[in-house]
Amino acid sequence: MELDAIVERKGMYAGLESTQAALGPQRGSLASSGRDLVRQGLSSSSGGAPDATLPPGWEEVTTPDGQPYYYNAALNKTQWEKPEPVVAAPAPAKAAPPPPVPAARPALAPRAVKLMATAVYAYKATQADELTIAEGDRLEILEKLDAHWWKCKKGMATGLVPATYCKEG
């Protein structure tokens, strides 16, 4: 590793020293300052080639006494524990495309428009085939028999009503 690159990293050694102090003597001793480490020289355990098991941007470096640690220049971060590789989430599966639209559509039967009427006057049926209506009733006109009588439906009942007693629409 070049000396200039090591000098640029001297800020990272303070993080190593504080980590070493927190871990205690179990990790061995670090040199007293970053300058001492630079003077003594550092070695990359991989010989400068990136380690394929490390996440991008991380490299393994060893102290002069052989202790490995990990450094990320982009994050300006050092740590004793080996960083875990970042595993990309699998791409979400694409939804199946919708089925094709049929080329030909069946012809729809014309929808019958219901003719409607409103009773303007009340009428009481006088014969069995007539329909009793009240003022304001809504009637479906089934058939116009002539200018005077219409066959209408009100609810479930059907019968004849005087056309002059109803207003179409």
Could you tell me which of 17, 121, 25, 26 has the C-alpha nearest to residue 63? 17
What is the predicted pLDDT for the residue at 31? 36
Compute φ and ψ for 149, nearest 5 degrees. -130, 135
**pLDDT tens column, 103-152:** 777 777 776 788 999 999 999 999 999 999 999 999 999 999 888 999 99
Q: Where are the domains of the chain?
A: 3-79, 115-168
DSSP string computed for 53-110: TSPTTEEEEE-TTS-EEEEETTTTEEESSPPPPPPPPPPPPPPPPPPPPPS-PPPPPP
Most confident of 1-10, 16-25, 100-109, 111-120: 111-120
Q: How far apart are CA 7 and CA 4, in angstroms?
A: 5
Are 45 and 61 contacting, i.e. CB atoms less than 8 angstroms apart?
yes
Model pTM score: 0.36
- 114 three-state secondary structure: coil
Query: Any idea which architecture 115-168 has in CATH?
Result: Roll (2.30)
